[in-house]
Copies of this chain bind each other. A is one copy, B any other.
Amino acid sequence: MTRNILIITGDYTEDYETYAVKQMLQLVGYNVHLVSPGKKCGDFIVTAVHDFLPGEQTYTELKGHRIEINFDFDKVDTANYHGLFLPGGRCSEFLRLNDRVIEIVKEFDTKKKPIAAVCHGTQVLTAANVVKGVKCTAYPACKPEVSQAGGIYQDIAVDDAVVDQHIVSGKAWPCHPKLIQLFISLLGTKITHN
């Protein structure tokens, strides 16, 4: 069986958080399905470039790449996937309203399959009510959601990540290397050098 990962994304996801992660997972041998509610294989999502400009209180937003969806959301069967990845950006706040998205998250959680989330992606975990008593992190501005959902917010470095049981999380895209290392480690992937 191929090693499949599901990424649930949507319009105005952070560009890196969907696409760079997809490529990182492909690099180490995973087959990645990018899905989004209401979209089918071959559809596109628009993305946001979130970056920090000196002197501004929060990130700025620019338009990023269009990203192609490569699997129908309606055909997702969680039994076919080894793990779930939840990117951040502005998609997370509306993805968490979708019943099927929440159901998918819960199915992964119930079976203790690895779940990784970055930035606002953790908002989907809090809405799915799967972080109670779990040490996790998120974009700092999402700390209130984590706390209200009973998660134990970890104030780690922006390029670090935290794992608790089968849930891995990081604050923003600089954490990707560490976040995905922890994620694929849970999935049983090993990297060695001569």
Contacts and interface: CB of A to CB of B under 8 A. Distances in A.
Nearest to A64: B49
Copies per complex of this chain: 6
A86 interface: no
Listed residue (A24, A57, A192) with the most chain B CB atoms within 10 angstroms of its CB: A57
B58 A61 contact: no
Contacts of A3: 193
B193 A191 contact: no
Contacts of A94: 57-58, 140-141
A35 to B, nearest CB: 13
A75 B123 CA distance: 34
B57 A177 contact: no
Interface string A40-56: 00000110110100001
Contacts of A167: none
Contacts of A126: 144, 148
B36 A57 contact: yes
Nearest to A3: B193
A193 B48 CA distance: 33
A189 B192 contact: yes
A190 B192 contact: yes
Contacts of A65: 15-16, 49, 51
A181 B69 CA distance: 23
Contacts of A16: 16, 19-20, 23, 65
A64 B64 contact: yes
B64 A177 contact: no
B28 A57 contact: no
Given A51-B66, A190-B192, A191-B191, 16 more contacts: A3-B193, A12-B56, A12-B60, A20-B24, A24-B24, A26-B177, A27-B28, A27-B177, A49-B62, A51-B65, A58-B93, A61-B61, A62-B62, A64-B64, A96-B141, A189-B192
